[in-house]
Amino acid sequence: MKIITSKEKDFFEVISLINNAKEKALLSVNKELITLYWNVGKYVSNKIKKAEWGEGVIDNLANYITLKNPEIKGFNRRGLFRMRQFYETYRENQKLSPLVRQLSWSNHLLILSKTKSMEEKEFYIFLSIKERYSKDKQEQTKQIM
């Protein structure tokens, strides 16, 4: 049986502080990233809805982003369509739209691609938040069902 010294307890406390701060920072970054994807999806959706843009403009936008900022990833044609789908799926859902910022983008992509009804989406969003699912754990749960 190992005896924990006072100094080890102190060191453990510092490590706990570091880990808690790292987790909060990651959650904050994730929230901002999801907000960005929501806003880009909203912008694209509104432009197309108002007939200011046609569907083909998304390709042009993706190419423009790549040309002007080649270091930015995820804003290709597929990514922009997913952002639009993300926004359009949840924009009118008063229950889910405030919760979407609590999940990672990979969780959202999995939920959007594997579910059909809004009830299924709601179930997996609530379950993922409650159980703090990572994408991998969520994928395992989806395979069971």
Task: Report pLDDT digits (tens) over 24-38.
Answer: 998 899 999 999 999
Q: Give the tens place of pLDDT for each residue, 127-137.
A: 999 887 765 55
* The pLDDT of residue 144 is above 50: no
- Give the Cα separation of 116 and 96 in Å (integer): 16
Taking the complete model, does pTM exceed 0.85, yes or no? no
Going from the C-alpha of 43 to that of each of 15, 57, 59, 140, 143, the distances in angstroms are 42, 12, 15, 34, 34
* Rounded Cα gap, residues 82 and 49, in angstroms: 16
